[in-house]
Chain A
C-alpha cells in the first residue's frame, strides 16, 4: 500500500468541489478518476485535473493546489490528507476526525463547523476560520485548527468548543459571537476582539487593541487554568504553548450579551488602546 497521490496537471478551469476526495469516501470508490468535482454545468472529473498514483486511501496527498479548490476534507472522519499548495474555501468543512495538512494558504471558512480532528495550515487563512455558514447556530464544535500564518477577520466566529491557534496576526473581531472553546493568537489581533462573545477564552499574546467598551478589566491574575492550556498546547505539538505566561490580565465580556467570556492578555502594558473608533 502506498499513499494515494493526486498530482495536479493544470490549473482548474472552474471552482472545484473536492469533498468526494476524503479518505472515507475514497476507500469506498472504485473509479477515483471518474469522481466528479465540478461546480458548474461543465463536467470535470478528478482524472481530468490530477494524475493518480498509489492506493492507500487513508494517506492522501495532493501535489499542487489551487485557491479554486473548495471543500477539501469536508466531512472527513479518519485518515490523513496532505496538500502541497494553496487551497480554497471551506477546508475541512464539518470534519470530525483525521488529519488535514496544508503546506500553503487556505481561503475563507477554513475548518467551518468542524467537530473533531486536526487541521494544520502552514500559511494564511482567509476570513471566518471555523465559522458557521449563514443560518447555522454555532461554528466549530471540536477539534484543533492551527494556522501558522495569519488569519483574516472573525477567526473563530460563533465557536462553540475546540481549539484555534493563530501564530501570525489575526484580523478584526477574532472570536466574534464566541459561545465557548479556546482561541490563542500569538501575533497581534485586529480591533474588536471577542465582539459579542458569550463564553469562551481568547488569549491574545500581543494584547487587545480596539477593545469594545463593553469589556471590563478584572485585573491581573495568576491562573492555574493557563498552566493547563499551555500544557495542552505543548502536548498537541504546538510549541508556542511554552511561551504562554500563567499571569495574565483578564478582560471580561462581552457585557453587551451574556458576558461570561474572557480575553486574557499579558499584564503590561496596563493601558490598553481605547474603544474602537
Chain B
C-alpha cells in the first residue's frame, strides 16, 4: 500500500471515529471583548471531556457588536454532551456559576435547533422574586437584578441532535516542542472553522486515552501504543523516529463542520512539512465498531 506523503509528512491510511452527540450554544456579550472572553473561558475551562467533566465546551467564534442582540462585543460558546438531560444540566450550571457571576455580561440563545432547552428559564430564580420577564416579539428574556445592575438572559436556546463529537487528529513529531508548535498551528486553522470547538486545553490533549484499564475502576487509560517512552516495550504504533504525539479533538454542530475542521487541521500540518519536525499524522478509532461517523484522512488530506 503506497504511503500518502505530503511535504515529507506521512499520512496514515486510517480514519477518525466520531459519535453522535447533543449540542447547544449561547452568545455571551459584555462591555468589552476582554470581559466576554473572560466569561467564556471561565465557563468552558473545566469542560474538556464527557468522561469526567460533564460536557465538552469551547469557544466557537468572536462576534462584533453588529452581530449580537444587544450590539455589544460577544462570543459564541458551544456545549456538547451525550444526552439532552446532561446537556441542559451542564448549560444551566455553567451559566449560573460562570456567566451570571461575571461583570457586565448578558446571555442569549446561540443556536436554533429542532428543540429548545431552558436557559434563563432556569437561572431566573436567582432573582428571588424580583426577576422580570420581557417578551419582545417571538423571543423572551429574563432580567435578573444583580449587584452591578441586571443580568439579561434569554429564556431558551436551541438544541441539536445532529452534533458530532470525537473528530480527531494524532500529530506525531520528532520531539515534544516541535510537535507542540505543529499542533498549535493546526488549532489556529481549526478555530477559524465555524460551528466547531476543540474542548481540550488550548485545543490539544497530550494524554490521549484508550478504552479500558487494568484497574477495574478506570473507564479509560493512557493510549500506550502512542506513548513514546514505551516504544519497544509495548506493541507500539510508533516508528522509532517519533518522539512525541499530541492529539486534537474536534466537536462540531454537524458532520460537515467536523469534516471541515479536520480538513483545515490537516492542511495546516501538511503546509508545515517535515522540516518542522513533523513525522506522521494519524487518527484514533475503535475499528469502526462504536461511532457512526468516520473521517478518512486520505479523503481529507490536501
Residue ranges of A at the interface with B (Cβ–Cβ < 8 Å)? 161, 163, 180-182, 199, 201, 221-225, 227-229, 231-232, 235-236, 260, 262
Contact = CB atoms under 8 A, between A and B. Distances in A.
Tell me what chain A mostly uses at the interface: helix, strand, loop, or mixed.
mixed
A225 B71 contact: no
Contact of B134 (A201, A236, A260): A201
Contacts, number: 47
A224 B70 contact: yes
B70 A260 contact: no
Interface stretch (B14-22, B136-144, B158-166, B241-249): B136-144
Given A225-B141, A225-B152, A231 B70 contact: yes
5 contacts: A182-B136, A201-B132, A224-B70, A225-B134, A227-B70
A228 B149 contact: no
B135 interface: yes
A115 to B, nearest CB: 12
Interface centre among B29, B133, B136, B141 (most CB of A within 10 A): B136
Interface string B84-125: 000000000000000000000010000000000000000000
Nearest to B129: A260
B288 interface: no
Interface centre among A161, A227, A228 (most CB of B within 10 A): A228
Given A224-B70, A227-B72, A228-B70, 14 more contacts: A163-B136, A182-B134, A201-B134, A221-B150, A223-B149, A223-B150, A224-B29, A224-B106, A225-B141, A225-B152, A227-B71, A228-B134, A231-B69, A236-B137
A92 to B, nearest CB: 18
A222 B149 CA distance: 8
Tell me what chain B mostly uses at the interface: helix, strand, loop, or mixed.
strand
Contacts of B141: 225, 228
A232 B136 contact: yes
Contacts of A199: 132
Contacts of B70: 224, 227-228, 231
A181 B136 CA distance: 9
A254 B234 CA distance: 76
B130 interface: yes
A235 B137 contact: yes
A161 B136 CA distance: 9
A232 B137 contact: yes
A162 to B, nearest CB: 8
Contacts of B133: 180
A183 B23 CA distance: 37
A229 B139 CA distance: 11
B189 to A, nearest CB: 34
A228 B132 contact: no
A48 B132 CA distance: 52
A260 B136 contact: no
B10 to A, nearest CB: 53
Contacts of B106: 224
B143 A225 contact: yes
B65 to A, nearest CB: 10
Interface centre among B72, B106, B137 (most CB of A within 10 A): B137
B137 A231 contact: no
B133 to A, nearest CB: 8
A227 B69 CA distance: 8
7 A-B pairs with the lowest CB-CB distances in the bound complex, closest first: A232-B136, A227-B70, A224-B152, A224-B106, A225-B143, A224-B70, A225-B152
Interface string B269-289: 000000000000000000000
B112 to A, nearest CB: 17
Given A227-B70, A228-B69, A221 B149 contact: yes
A232 B141 CA distance: 12
